[in-house]
């Protein structure tokens, strides 16, 4: 061995052809030899030895024992050797922190070197050595390098700040490096700017609340200028950073879009995708009637199509993103169906993604072509691809009604091929077609039945059993068919067992005479011999239904089925919005929010699309968009609602087949919050309701559409949110607009917005229930937690018809005040639970106290005087109501609409004094004195009450009523 | 950002391993080997998530390159970077093979240290890298201060793809317009879909920092000039064959040297080119494509055991031009038992293993036609399913651009050196190739 390596060295010292030999030395005592060589006097020998060390390190051998010897080689003027030693240091410094200190001097010295390449190398490497003692020494050289005259050193130093921040964030802040980094955004060199942006973005991610990036029109302008000049990678950093900016108004948004669109012609696909991200996001803010909006839409299609001629891996990334874009804005690519046709030699991952997009783009206009393609695909070799193609044919049938017949006949052709997995897949989709178009294609049942024996997958078996049960009256031997499945009942999967149970009950209800024995058999199999609780429960329910009330059983079991939706596998809208903000990144590839696959604080921050502004129909001013909470990061602590929902869901959710997938975004931690939250809901101590305000405050940003349709409230919106968490004030004419109480994202697609009103002495809770999920929602019910004034629903929640996807129902729920009482914090807090067929959801909201002001609240003058004196002065509270431009009479009338009664009015020295009384539902009297000075828009309000804690809430009501 | 980068051989042995981030441990190297390279089933995605760690991989011959991360990185960027890294390695030592990688591992580590910093891609243009990553070791010491700052300003500068001080005795440039034309035609001769995807590849051997301006017969530009009042139609004399004045380009992308904002606003293509060969632009067209060949199929089923096939191909371009390497592939049914072929030109053979008659013609001039007829004997089968009649496909190469694209000019300005646009020797070549060129029968 010695010979061999000697030979190699002699043949060509340091020449390229011999480097591979370093990978082959595997003898014992190697370390000793290396040690000797490292300490050799000959430079070349040293270098060779270091190379061997690096090679061993690469293949995973532990060469940390050579640490001092390698570090000794650091002091060299040979750049190549120096780099090798640095590489070694980066790997092992952490395991030998004390020894690593030996290297510090060289680093510090190198940072002063005349050669900028050496200075940069030193600062770059130093940042990679994660040893506390070294980082201390790093600060001074880094500070110098950040202001180095050479741009190469500055761009390296900029990244080094991010490295240092990763090791010791506090140190970076204390040393003021963040400010220096911010200054670099204005650097004259575009690459320095790009790296500074990258470093700042990364640091900002781990401080979601810091205003580190501080993007404003000036910095944005600098970034856009650098965008034209820096490397392709720099352009990506800048575009990704731009995407997190929220333009002030639609004009700014448009001007940024105009300057970003040239990037769509870049050869680098990542630049193109990041530009698409910025455009997709900012487009949200442009009014749809704007010409530029249409132009922009048209500009987006060609580059997206061009991405499909990139290398396959990039095509894959592009296709996953196009899948999102097509869901968000189908109009962009609706004419480009053909480019998604699968090519023979596409890799399988590209084929599968293209197929997905084809289905999404299928429409009446192109269905013939699509079907012809899909039929081709169904004869390919890859099993997954063929299955997906078959499934796609079924989805086309459901999506485009005109094509249903052709699809069914295509599927029948495929069933004739007798290819096992094709047949099974076809049967599964035909079941869906039957559901979508009942009583139309049943003639094919005979063909399906021929293939019963070949079905070995649970899904296909379950589908076939469903078909037999559903059409039992038309299939002569339905009982025989089902009986044949029954033989191996216990070996079937749950899915098949449940389906079989239901199918046989259906059969029995349709043909009771011949099948009594069969139904007995299945019921006893399900209830007595099974240990699956779902199956047992369903069995018992059927059993009792059948034995007590066969007519009712028929109504239940043979009830008309809700329609199935046309689009399947759609991403939930709130998640889709978030993913659009992550175009080009891993999140968009996985179709999951970053929090689902990123550890720690990074990426937990949810991104949202900006609210739409401008356009005629919207009353939201750009101001609202800006002052709205969308810019502030939403609460990192989840509001108690969804936590409870997640936790309780285990016990309360009935087993259904249509539960949409739980969004991973709910998996956030903070379990200790649960204690308090649960207690207060379940009637224990008065727990705080943490982060409720934040949760509500964030709502309007996510749901710009629902706000847009609300009555005009203009700039007042902001105030409203601050005050009552979005709760308005009922007066004779005025009811606050509905605000979102429960986000769809947190409630598996159910969105609830609402408000409170008092109409003719009846308290009402006006709710809008919106189904943003893919499946139909039914079985709504509502319940309140105990609250301060005993509010409780006076009747059931009247949602009679099932709520189909994208439908909204408005309900008014009458409330009584006879419920159980428990003091809440804040006083007017109301915790609500809403149940539907999917789950139970919790949210809390705050009602205006004026809800409880009764109609007979006008106190007698004498009593008023006596009571006023009777209440101790300590109970008096004073408030200022600002900016009211009403005279006392108008104000008095307005207040009367909300059952705040003026008993007397006095005028003293140009001041109007109004004396008013209010009675709450629980009999508490509130007395008030309001002073109005002519010409002064600020009123002074003094409130006296035996229960002083209500005073601030009464004041809130005054303010709300007077200001609206 | 990218947390680490690994290169493996086909057995899954690590050849290069460079970790940039603390969150990537040594076990990541093994995780990828076990779950992807050694996976029992073929991996079905270029992105794999293993225990909250994401792996991006590309393969070059039997070498695996994998980038690892634990963050929500820009996925498109990671792949672009991996491709770029392959380009850089190829430019330094040729083919990416296990042997070459082992022989150059020190160089690769040096490159990786330079082009990725803390997982952020830095300048990765070989032109720039080669000025200071040389593997000559000691060069750093002998450089003058000017040389050093020239390097750093180039690496970080606006023109990172070109170094200063390039000198050629003869200033020369070559432009290749390479197109692939794709067609799907119905048996009746109706075009179902057709598009051209083209590339303009440039080899530049120019001194100094030349400012170039590239002009082609882009419809938008020509129309604009027409409106501008220029009465004489530009380039009318150059445009032979097709007689088309201008073409509509659906979309194009450019090398990073092209000033995109200028293209966006004025649609002019101006740039300072890299030295040597590079791809200036890619484009796509779908309108007014010159289809170099038309295939007219005629298939007649004579009873149940015989097929008569006649295929005529017509060349549709100037008679003075020659198409080359023409190949027509006529699919035959699976139950073919024998084939007799007669063709007027070239050679035709029935290839049983490929279920097709392959007809090859070396050269064919424009405006000609040629014919093949074949009798196909079939074995009687019980198969009820009809023969699906796959399309007839064609391959060829022609010396013009089927999109109709013409290079109108490529002007070179170098103000500092004393050579002018006229002194530059320019070569333009057009090559049109068949992409997927099919006619249903």
Asked whether the beta carbons of A962 and A881 are under 8 A apart, the reply is yes
Cβ B263–A265 below 8 Å, yes or no? yes
**Among partner residues A153, A163, A416, which is closest to B118 by beta-carbon distance?**
A163
> Does A58 sit within 8 Å of B123, measured CB to CB?
no
pLDDT score recorded for residue A557: 86
CA nearest to A241, candidates A260, A262, A255? A260
Tokens read off for A553: 């059983």
Query: Residue A627 contacts by C-beta under 8 Å, 6 or more apart in sequence?
Result: A718
Within 8 A of A384 by CB-CB distance, chain B residues are 44
Q: What value, to the nearest 5°, has the Cα angle with vertex B403 and ends B399 and B407? A: 70
pLDDT value for A783: 85
pLDDT digits (tens, 9 = 90+) for A761-801: 888 888 888 888 877 888 888 888 888 888 888 888 888 77
Interface residue of A49, A60, A91, A117 to substitute, partner B, most B CBs within 10 Å? A117
CB atoms within 10 A of CB A398: 21
Residue of A nearest to B145 (CA): A115
Q: Report the range of poorest mean pLDDT among A20-34, A511-525, A552-566, A920-934.
A: A20-34
Contact B80 A77 (CB under 8 A): no
Q: Tell if the CB–CB gap between A317 and B79 is shorter than 8 Å.
A: yes
Are B73 and A586 an interchain contact pair (Cβ–Cβ within 8 Å)? yes
User: Is the predicted pLDDT of residue B232 greater than 80, yes or no?
Assistant: no
Residues of B in contact with A599 (CB under 8 A): 23, 52, 70
Taking only residues 453 to 482 of chain A, the set having a beta carbon closer than 8 angstroms to any beta carbon of chain B reads none
Higher pLDDT, A35 or A706: A35
| Residue A14, pLDDT score | 39
Chain B (387-426) residues lying within 8 Å, Cβ to Cβ, of chain A: 388
Sign of CA dihedral A268, A272, A274, A275: positive
What is the distance in angstroms between the Cα of A499 and the nearest Cα belonging to chain B? 33
Residues B105 and A54 sit within 8 Å (Cβ to Cβ): yes
CB–CB of B256 and A232 under 8 A?
A: yes
Does B144 contact A at CB distance below 8 Å? no
pLDDT score recorded for residue A939: 84
| Element (DSSP H or E) covering residue A525 | helix A516-527
- CA–CA gap between residue A293 and residue B420 (Å, rounded): 45
Query: What is residue A225's three-state secondary structure?
Result: helix
pLDDT of residue A63: 86
Residue A326 has pLDDT above 90, yes or no: yes
pLDDT bracket for residue A278 (50, 70, 90): very high
A191 CB neighbours in chain B (<8 A) are 122-123, 155-157, 160
pLDDT of residue B70: 94
Q: What are the chain B neighbours of A163 within 8 Å (beta carbons)?
A: 118
Q: What is the pLDDT of residue A936?
A: 80
pLDDT band at B320 (very low <50, low <70, confident <90, very high): very high
Q: Is the minimum CB–CB distance between B259 and chain A shorter than 8 Å?
A: yes
* Shortest CA gap B50–chain A (Å): 10
φ/ψ bin of B284: left (φ > 0), alpha (ψ from -120 to 50), beta (otherwise): beta
Closest CA of chain A from B239, distance in Å: 27
Q: Which two tokens stand for residue A303?
A: 């580059």
Task: Provide the 8-state DSSP code for A210.
Answer: S
> Using a CB-CB distance cutoff of 8 angstroms, which residues of chain B are in contact with residue A342?
none
A899 Cβ contact partners less than 8 Å away, ≥ 6 residues apart: A758, A850, A853, A854, A855, A857, A918, A919
**Model confidence over A39-54: pLDDT tens digits?**
888 888 888 888 888 8
Residues forming beta bridges with residue B56, ordered by sequence position: B47, B67
- In angstroms, the CA A539 to CA A335 distance is 51
Mean pLDDT within A854-878: 82
10 Å CB burial of residue A3 (0-12, 13-18, 19+) is exposed
**Given B22, B80, B145, which is nearest A270 (Cβ)?**
B80
**Residue A799: helix, strand or coil by DSSP?**
coil
User: Using an 8 Å Cβ cutoff, are A262 and A295 in contact?
Assistant: no
Name which residue leads in pLDDT, B411 or A783: B411
A379: nearest CA partner in chain B: B388
pLDDT in tens, A145-165: 999 999 999 999 999 999 999
Which has more confidence, A529 or B314? B314
Buried b (16+ CB within 10 A) or exposed e, A672-683: ebeebbbebbee
Q: Using the Cα atoms of residue A195, residue A197, residue A198 and residue A199 in order, give the sign of their dihedral.
A: positive
Where are the alpha helices (H) located in A362-493, listed in sequence order?
367-377, 383-399, 404-416, 420-436, 445-450, 458-470, 478-486
Region A109-123 average pLDDT? 90
- Across the interface, whether the CB atoms of B151 and A316 are under 8 A apart is answered no
Question: From its phi and psi, is residue A176 left (phi > 0), alpha (psi between -120 and 50) or beta?
Answer: left
Q: Which of A760-764, B55-59, B286-290, B344-348 has the lowest mean pLDDT?
A: A760-764
Q: Is A370 helix (H, G, I), strand (E, B) or coil?
A: helix
The contacts of residue A26 (CB under 8 Å, 6+ apart) are none
Residue matched to tokens 């029935």: B350
For residues A88 and B109, give the distance between their C-alpha atoms in angstroms, rounded to a whole number: 11
User: Which residue, among A748, A710, A750, A747, has the nearest Cα to A726 in the 3D structure?
Assistant: A710
Q: Which residues are registered as beta bridge partners of B58? A: B65
Per the prediction, chain A carries an average pLDDT of: 80
Q: Side by side, which strands form the sheet with A781-784? A: A781-784, A829-835, A840-846
* Chain A, window 622-681: residues with a beta carbon less than 8 angstroms from a chain B beta carbon: none
Q: For an interface test with A, give the residue of B66, B77, B384 to mutate (most A CBs within 10 A).
A: B77
Look-up of token digits 């634990």: B70
- Indicate the SS3 state at residue A3: helix
In this predicted structure, what is the pLDDT of residue A797? 83
Question: Angle CA(A908)–CA(A913)–CA(A917) in degrees, nearest 5?
Answer: 155
| B226 interfaces chain A, CB cutoff of 8 Å | no
Of B80, B109, B284, the CB nearest to A269: B80
Residue A665 has pLDDT above 70, yes or no: no
Give the pLDDT mean for A368-375. 89
pLDDT at B122 over 90: yes
Q: Do A302 and B83 touch (CB under 8 A)?
A: no
Binary contact (A585, B120; C-beta < 8 A) = no
Interface test with A, best of B17, B27, B120 (most A CBs within 10 A): B120
Integer Cα distance of B119 and B116 in angstroms: 5
What is residue A37's predicted lDDT score, i.e. its pLDDT? 85
Mean pLDDT of chain B: 88
Which of A30-34, A230-234, A767-771, B237-241 is predicted with the least confidence, judged by mean pLDDT? B237-241
Residue A317 has its nearest CB partner, among B69, B76, B263, at: B76
Q: Give pLDDT, residue A817.
A: 86
pLDDT score of A678 = 36
**Residue A488's pLDDT is what?**
84
Predicted ipTM of the assembly: 0.84
> What are the strands of the beta sheet with B53-60, ordered from one edge?
B14-19, B4-8, B63-69, B53-60, B47-50
Q: What residue of B is the nearest CA neighbor of A310?
A: B80
CA angle A697, A700, A706 (to 5 degrees): 150
Q: Which of A271-285, B69-83, B225-239 has the lowest mean pLDDT?
A: B225-239
- Conformational region of residue A538, where left means phi above 0, alpha means psi within -120 to 50, and beta covers everything else: alpha
Taking the C-alpha atoms of residue B359 and residue B336, their distance in angstroms, rounded to an integer, is: 17
CB contact under 8 A, B72 and A162: no
* Per-residue pLDDT, B141: 52
CB B68 within 8 A of CB B10: no
- Chain B residue with CA closest to A196: the answer is B120
Reading the block at residue B256, the tokens are 């990073």
From A181's Cα to the closest Cα of chain B, the distance in A is 16
Q: What is the pLDDT of residues A896-946, one digit of tens each?
A: 888 888 888 888 777 888 888 888 888 888 888 888 887 788 888 888 888
Asked if B105 lies within 8 A of A261 by C-beta distance, the reply is no
Output the pLDDT for position A933: 81
CB pairs under 8 A between A and B: 275
Please report, for residues A126, A265, A318, the alpha-carbon distance to residue A273 in angstroms, rounded to integers and kept in the order given: 34, 11, 8
Highest mean pLDDT: which of A661-665, B145-149, B341-345? B341-345
- Pairwise CB contact (< 8 Å): A348 & B255: no
Question: What's the confidence (pLDDT) of residue B47?
Answer: 95
Give the DSSP H/E element, type plus range, for residue A549. none
Reported as a pLDDT band with limits 50, 70 and 90, residue A891 is confident
Is A156 at the interface with chain B, CB within 8 A?
yes
Quote the Cα angle for A278-A284-A285, to 5°.
100
Contact status of A236 with chain B (Cβ, < 8 Å): yes
CA distance A903 to A901: 6
Which chain A positions have a beta carbon within 8 Å of B22's beta carbon? 130, 166
Q: Are A944 and A697 in contact (CB under 8 A)?
A: no
Q: In the predicted model, is pLDDT for residue A656 greater than 60? A: no
- pLDDT category of residue B406 using cuts at 50, 70 and 90: very high
Confidence bin at A209 (pLDDT 50/70/90): low
CB contact B29 to A (< 8 Å): yes
Min Cα–Cα distance to chain B from A292, Å: 15
Residue A153 is classified by DSSP as: H
CA angle A836-A840-A842, nearest 5°?
125
Q: How far is A494 from chain B (nearest CA, A)?
A: 28
Interchain pair B77, A265: CB under 8 A: no
Which residues are CB-contacts of B408 (< 8 A; sequence separation ≥ 6)?
B215, B216, B217, B234, B235, B238
Statement: residue A654 has pLDDT above 60: no
B129 at the A interface (CB within 8 A)?
Answer: no
Instruction: Calculate what percentage of chain A has a pLDDT beyond 90.
Output: 26
CA nearest A828: which of A921, A699, A694? A921
With an 8 Å Cβ cutoff, is A375 touching chain B?
Answer: no
Q: Are A414 and A449 in contact (CB under 8 A)?
A: no
- Residue A112: helix, strand or coil by DSSP? coil
Task: Indicate if the pLDDT at residue A81 is higher than 90.
Answer: no
Q: What is the pLDDT of residue B244?
A: 57
C-alpha torsion angle, residues A268, A274, A280, A283 (rounded to 10): -100
Task: For residues A420-449, give the mean pLDDT.
Answer: 88
Most confident of A141-155, A830-844, A878-892: A141-155
DSSP string, A561-612: PPPPPS--SPPPHHHHHHHHTTTTBHHHHHTS-GGGT--SSTTTSPP-PPPP
- The 3-state secondary structure of chain B reads CCCEEEEECCCCCEEEEEECCCCCCCHHHHHHHHHHHCCCCCCCCCEEEECCEEEEEEEECCEEEEEEECCCCEHHHHHHHHHHHHHHHHHHHCCCCHHHHHHCHHHHHHHHHHHEECCEECCCCHHHHHHHCCCCCCHHHHCCHHHHHHHHHHHHCCCCCCCCCCCCCCCEEEEEEEEEEEEEECCCCCEEEEEEEEEEEEEEECCCCCEEEEEECEHHHHHHHHHHCCCCCCCCCCCCCCCCCCECCCEEEECCCECHHHHHHHCCEEECCCCEEEEEEEEEECCCCCCCEEEEEEEEEECCCEEEEEEEEEECCCCCCEEEEEEEEEECCCCEEEEEEEECCCEEEEEHHHCEEEEEEEEEECCCEEEEEEEEEECCCCCCCCCCCCCEEEEEEECCCCCCCCEEEEEEECCCCCCCHHHCEEEEEEEEEEEEEEECC
3-state secondary structure of A516: helix
Q: Where does the pLDDT of residue A207 fall: very low under 50, low under 70, confident under 90, or very high at 90 and above? A: confident
Residue A270, pLDDT score: 96
Report CB contact under 8 Å: B282, A267: yes
C-beta separation of A755 from A735 below 8 A: yes
Rounded to whole angstroms, the Cα distance separating A173 from A147 reads: 17
Closest B-chain CA to A587: B72
């Amino acid at each position: 061995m010695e010979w061999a390596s000697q030979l190699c060295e002699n043949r060509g010292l340091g020449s390229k052809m011999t480097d591979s030999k370093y990978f082959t030395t595997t003898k014992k005592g190697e370390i000793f030899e290396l040690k000797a060589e490292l300490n050799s006097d000959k430079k070349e020998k040293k270098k060779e030895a270091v190379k061997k060390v690096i090679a061993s390190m690469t293949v995973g051998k532990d060469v940390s024992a050579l640490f001092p010897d390698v570090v000794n080689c650091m002091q060299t003027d040979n750049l190549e050797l120096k780099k090798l030693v640095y590489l070694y240091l980066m790997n092992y410094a952490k395991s030998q922190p004390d020894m690593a200190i030996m290297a510090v001097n060289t680093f510090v010295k190198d940072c002063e070197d005349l050669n900028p390449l050496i200075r940069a190398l030193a600062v770059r490497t130093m940042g990679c050595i994660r040893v506390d003692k070294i980082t201390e020494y790093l600060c001074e050289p880094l500070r110098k390098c950040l202001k180095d005259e050479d741009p190469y050193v500055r761009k390296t130093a900029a990244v080094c700040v991010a490295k240092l921040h990763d090791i010791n964030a506090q140190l970076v802040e204390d040393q003021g490096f963040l400010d220096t980094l911010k200054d670099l955004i204005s650097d004259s060199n575009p690459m320095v700017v790009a790296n500074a942006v990258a470093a700042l973005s990364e640091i900002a991610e781990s401080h979601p609340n810091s205003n580190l990036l501080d993007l404003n029109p000036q910095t944005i302008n600098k970034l856009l200028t650098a965008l034209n000049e820096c490397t392709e990678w720099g352009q990506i950093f800048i575009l990704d950073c731009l995407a997190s900016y929220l333009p002030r108004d639609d004009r700014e948004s448009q001007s940024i879009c105009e300057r970003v669109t040239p990037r769509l012609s870049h050869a680098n696909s990542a630049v193109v995708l990041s530009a698409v991200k910025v455009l997709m996001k900012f487009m949200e803010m442009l009014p749809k009637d704007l010409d530029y909006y249409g132009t922009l839409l048209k500009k987006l299609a060609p580059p997206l199509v061009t991405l499909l001629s990139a290398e396959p891996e990039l095509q894959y990334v592009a296709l996953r993103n196009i899948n999102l874009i097509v869901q968000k804005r189908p109009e962009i690519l609706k004419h480009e169906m053909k480019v998604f046709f699968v090519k023979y030699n596409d890799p399988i991952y590209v084929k599968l993604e293209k197929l997905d997009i084809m289905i999404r783009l299928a429409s009446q206009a192109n269905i013939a072509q699509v079907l012809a393609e899909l039929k081709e695909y169904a004869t390919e070799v890859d099993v997954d691809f063929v299955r997906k193609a078959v499934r796609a044919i079924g989805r086309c049938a459901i999506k485009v009604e005109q094509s249903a017949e052709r699809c069914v006949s295509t599927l029948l052709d495929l069933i004739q091929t007798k290819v096992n997995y094709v047949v099974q897949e076809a049967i599964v989709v035909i079941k869906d077609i039957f559901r979508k178009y009942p009583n139309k294609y049943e003639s094919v049942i005979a063909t399906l039945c021929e293939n019963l024996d070949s079905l070995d997958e649970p899904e296909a078996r379950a589908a076939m059993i469903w078909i037999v049960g559903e059409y039992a009256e038309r299939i002569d031997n339905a009982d025989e068919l089902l009986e044949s499945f029954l033989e191996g009942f216990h070996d079937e999967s749950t899915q098949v067992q449940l389906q079989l149970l239901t199918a046989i009950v259906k059969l029995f209800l349709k043909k009771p005479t011949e099948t009594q024995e069969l139904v007995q058999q299945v019921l006893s199999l399900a209830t007595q011999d099974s240990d699956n609780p779902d199956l047992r429960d369903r069995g018992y329910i059927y059993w009792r239904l059948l034995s007590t009330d066969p007519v009712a059983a028929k109504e239940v079991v043979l009830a008309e089925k809700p329609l199935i939706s046309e689009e399947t596998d759609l991403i939930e809208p709130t998640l889709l919005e978030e993913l659009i903000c992550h175009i080009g990144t891993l999140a968009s590839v996985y179709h999951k929010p970053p929090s689902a696959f990123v550890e720690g604080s990074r990426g937990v921050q949810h991104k949202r699309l900006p609210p739409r502004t401008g356009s005629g129909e919207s009353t939201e001013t750009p101001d609202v968009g800006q002052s709205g909470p969308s810019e502030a990061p939403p609460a990192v602590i989840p509001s108690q609602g969804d936590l409870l929902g997640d936790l309780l869901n285990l016990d309360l959710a009935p087993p259904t087949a249509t539960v949409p997938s739980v969004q991973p975004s709910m998996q956030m931690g903070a379990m200790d919050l649960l204690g308090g939250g649960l207690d207060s809901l379940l009637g224990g101590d008065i727990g705080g309701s943490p982060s409720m305000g934040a949760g509500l405050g964030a709502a309007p940003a996510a749901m710009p559409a629902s706000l847009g349709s609300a009555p005009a409230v203009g700039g007042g919106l902001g105030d409203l949110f601050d005050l009552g968490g979005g709760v308005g004030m009922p007066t004779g004419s005025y009811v606050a607009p509905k605000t979102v109480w429960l986000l769809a994202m947190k409630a598996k697609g159910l969105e609830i917005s609402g408000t409170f009103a008092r109409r003719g002495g009846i308290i009402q809770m006006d709710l809008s229930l919106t189904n943003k999920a893919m499946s139909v929602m039914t079985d709504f019910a509502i319940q309140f937690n105990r609250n301060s004034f005993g509010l409780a629903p006076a009747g059931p929640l009247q949602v009679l018809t099932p709520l189909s996807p994208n439908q909204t129902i408005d309900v008014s729920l009458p409330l009584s005040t006879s419920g159980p009482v428990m003091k809440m914090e804040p006083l007017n807090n109301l915790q609500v639970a809403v149940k539907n067929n999917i789950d139970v959801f919790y949210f809390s909201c705050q009602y205006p106290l004026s809800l409880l002001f009764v109609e007979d609240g006008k106190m007698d003058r004498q009593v008023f005087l006596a009571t006023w004196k009777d209440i101790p002065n300590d109970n008096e509270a004073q408030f200022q109501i600002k900016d009211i431009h009403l005279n006392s009479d108008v104000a008095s009338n307005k207040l009367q609409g909300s059952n705040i009664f003026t008993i007397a009015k006095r005028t003293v020295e140009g001041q109007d004094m109004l004396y008013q009384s209010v009675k709450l539902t629980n009999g508490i009297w509130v007395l008030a004195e309001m002073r109005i000075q002519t010409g002064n828009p600020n009123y002074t309000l003094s409130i006296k009450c035996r229960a002083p804690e209500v005073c601030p809430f009464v004041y809130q009501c005054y303010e709300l009523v007077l200001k609206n | 950002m990218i947390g680490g980068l690994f290169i493996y051989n086909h057995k899954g042995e690590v050849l290069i391993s460079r970790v940039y981030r603390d969150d990537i441990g040594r076990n990541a190297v093994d995780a990828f080997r076990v779950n992807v390279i050694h996976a029992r089933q073929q991996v079905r995605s270029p992105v794999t998530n293993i225990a909250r760690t994401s792996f991006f991989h590309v393969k070059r011959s039997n070498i695996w390159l994998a980038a690892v991360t634990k963050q929500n990185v820009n996925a498109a960027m990671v792949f672009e970077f991996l491709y770029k890294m392959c380009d850089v390695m190829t430019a330094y030592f040729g083919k990416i093979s296990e042997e070459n990688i082992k022989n150059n591992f020190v160089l690769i580590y040096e490159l990786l240290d330079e082009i990725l910093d803390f997982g952020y891609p830095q300048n990765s243009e070989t032109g720039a890298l080669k000025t200071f990553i040389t593997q000559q070791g000691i060069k750093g010491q002998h450089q003058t201060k000017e040389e050093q700052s020239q390097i750093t300003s180039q690496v970080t500068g606006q023109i990172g793809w070109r170094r200063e001080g390039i000198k050629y005795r003869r200033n020369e440039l070559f432009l290749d317009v390479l197109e692939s034309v794709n067609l799907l035609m119905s048996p009746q001769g109706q075009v179902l879909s057709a598009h051209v995807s083209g590339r303009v590849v440039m080899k530049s051997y120019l001194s100094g920092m030349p400012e170039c301006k590239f002009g082609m017969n882009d419809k938008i530009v020509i129309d604009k000039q027409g409106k501008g009042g220029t009465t004489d139609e530009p380039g009318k004399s150059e445009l032979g064959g097709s007689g088309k004045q201008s073409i509509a380009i659906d979309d194009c992308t450019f090398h990073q040297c092209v000033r995109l904002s200028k293209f966006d606003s004025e649609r002019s293509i101006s740039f300072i080119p890299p030295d040597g060969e590079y791809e200036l632009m890619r484009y796509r067209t779908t309108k007014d494509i010159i289809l170099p060949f038309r295939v007219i199929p005629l298939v007649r089923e004579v009873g149940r055991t015989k097929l008569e096939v006649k295929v005529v191909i017509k060349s549709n371009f100037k008679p003075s031009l020659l198409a080359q390497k023409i190949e027509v592939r006529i699919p035959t049914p699976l139950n073919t038992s024998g084939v007799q072929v007669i063709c007027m030109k070239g050679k035709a053979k029935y290839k049983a293993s490929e279920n097709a008659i392959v007809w090859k013609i070396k050269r064919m001039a424009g405006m000609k036609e040629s014919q093949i007829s074949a009798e196909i004997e079939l074995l009687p089968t019980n198969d009820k399913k009809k023969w699906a009649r796959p399309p007839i496909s064609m391959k060829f190469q022609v010396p013009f651009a089927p999109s109709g694209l013409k290079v109108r000019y490529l002007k070179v300005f170098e103000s500092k050196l004393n050579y002018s646009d006229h002194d530059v020797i320019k070569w333009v070549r057009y090559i049109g190739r068949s992409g997927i060129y099919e006619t249903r029968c």
